[in-house]
Amino acid sequence: MLSRAGVLLLRQGQEATAIATHIRSSYSSSSRRDQEVHATTVLCVRKDGQVVLVADGQVTMGGTVVKPNVRKTRKIGESTIGGFAGATADAFTLFERLEHKLEEHTGQLTRASVELAKMWRTDKYLRKLDAALIVADRHQSLQITGNGDVLEPHDGIIAIGSGSPYALAAARALIDLPGMDALSIARRAMGIASDACIYTNDNYTALHIDGEGKIAEVDLKASGSSG
């Protein structure tokens, strides 16, 4: 007979499965370029003033893993972090443009992101770039698309890439659990994504923003409790 905690986890697992199914259906029914699924998983979790951005390290070409430890997260300027899915060179070009926009707009992430999205959509060169971006600072988490969208999640959770339905569903199921901080949620959700998605491994790189806005790299496997 299941304990009360066991029943709660079972219900959360069922909820996560339902969310993942809905998200996969949404992806498959969309023909927009920003909905193209890149072979990776990047997840951003915001809870109780803490932000964790984590990505796996796998690069796949066709059915072959060509590199297991690519870094898909980076610091942007003094107070912003970013993660990407897609072509590395394209993503870094976009991050450089975003950094310039942050300098222009004195660190205002939303304004800088909107300006980048406009450029990405309309510029003859930039609109050919193949990437999806997550950016975050102490106050906001945003997804930027090549269609000119700047999206802020209602629950502080964003995921992109082929494993994103699993990571997003798991993080949403865990977000309200007591005793689970942003690191614990990100660790558990990425573990589920890497188990379910063949294009996602467990060579994670993760960046953390604390309540004071300080950015640090964290070892997702070693830090915190197992949740």
The residues annotated as belonging to the active site are 40
Cα(145)–Cα(9) distance, integer angstroms: 34
Nearest to 160 by CA among 176, 171, 148: 171
**What tokens appear for 24 in the block?**
């996969």
Cα(195)–Cα(189) distance, integer angstroms: 10
Cα(190)–Cα(157) distance, integer angstroms: 13
Helix %, strand %, coil % of the chain (to 5): 40, 25, 35
| Rounded to 5°, angle at Cα 68 from 226 and 206 | 40
**Is residue 168 within 8 Å of 44, Cβ to Cβ?**
no
Cα(216)–Cα(19) distance, integer angstroms: 31
Beta bridge partners of 61: 64
CA–centroid distance for 2 within its chain: 33
